[in-house]
Structure 1
Amino acid sequence: MPGARRLLLLDGTGMAVVGAGYLAGAAPLGRVLGPATGTVALVGAVLLVLGAAVALAARPPEAAPGTVRWVVACGAGWIALSAAVLAFDVFGAGVLDLTAAGAVWTAAQTVPVGVFAALQYAALRRAAPPAGRG
């Protein structure tokens, strides 16, 4: 799955860069977006480690279908978690005490995650043998 390999490399690199940015700017990002500095740093660390793992998974000449499925599932989970955080914060539960900018950012950052997940899923579908054959 050469196409999936490229997608994994781009996705993993992007995650790692965003994670490093969250770690480096945890305090100012927390003030602008709402969550505590430690929460922003934790999310940054998770993104950095996950991004590195995804980028490393892209090293073989062909991405393993199971790896691609795992990354797609992680993306779907990230989107679901973001939606839950937004729902609870918007309706007053204050899970992360998002500011207006934080709510917009939380929603906006699901777009590239969804795009990568959709493209990776499409690569899986293209690589799968037709039904009834193989």
Structure 2
Amino acid sequence: MNTTTADTTTATTGPVTLKTALLLDAAVTGANGLAYVAGAAVLDSLLGPSPTHFVLIGAFLAVCATILAVTGTRRPIPRGWATFAAEVNVAWAIGSVAVVAFGWLDLTTTGEVWTLMQAALVAVFATLQLTALRRTP
């Protein structure tokens, strides 16, 4: 009984699993992508870029979310695809900072803050995924 209890406690309070990291990333990325597509006409005045930019970025994010969800539900999770997901997240975070730093896309101040907050969140997803990959045999 003690062994089962200890195993359950470790499993529920331990580090984030690769599956959890990928599926959480898929959910957030998918929701963001759908919001960009659905709200493109409104977001341009709030954040800066044109509605076309939001539709294109939203469509890209929807594709990424689908890949993340499919990867996260495979048994076993394909290491190559999981690594690729983490690498795309790293590139997205760096690219987001570059967009703000170099003034690309004519972001508003709110758009700059939003972009940097997203970069931070995406970096967290990359860190969770890379950490889980290192722990996964």
TM-score normalized by the length of structure 1? 0.86
Larger radius of gyration: 2
- Counterpart check, 1:64 vs 2:78: yes
Once the two structures are superposed, residues 36-92 of structure 1 have per-residue CA deviations (whole angstroms, 9 ceiling, x without a partner) of 110011111100111111111112133121111101100011011111111111xxx
- Counterpart check, 1:86 vs 2:100: yes
More moved, 98-107 vs 7-16: 7-16
Larger helix fraction of residues? 2
Q: Structure 1: 5+ residue runs without aligned partners? A: 90-94, 129-134
2:106 equivalent in structure 1: 97
- Counterpart check, 1:51 vs 2:65: yes
Question: Structure 1 vs Structure 2: percent identity of aligned residues?
Answer: 38
Task: Please give the root-mean-square deviation of Cα atoms over the aligned residues, in Å.
Answer: 1.3
1:124 equivalent in structure 2: 133
1:75 equivalent in structure 2: 89
Runs of 4+ in structure 1 displaced over 6 angstroms?
none
Q: Structure 2: 5+ residue runs without aligned partners? A: 1-15
1:7 equivalent in structure 2: 21
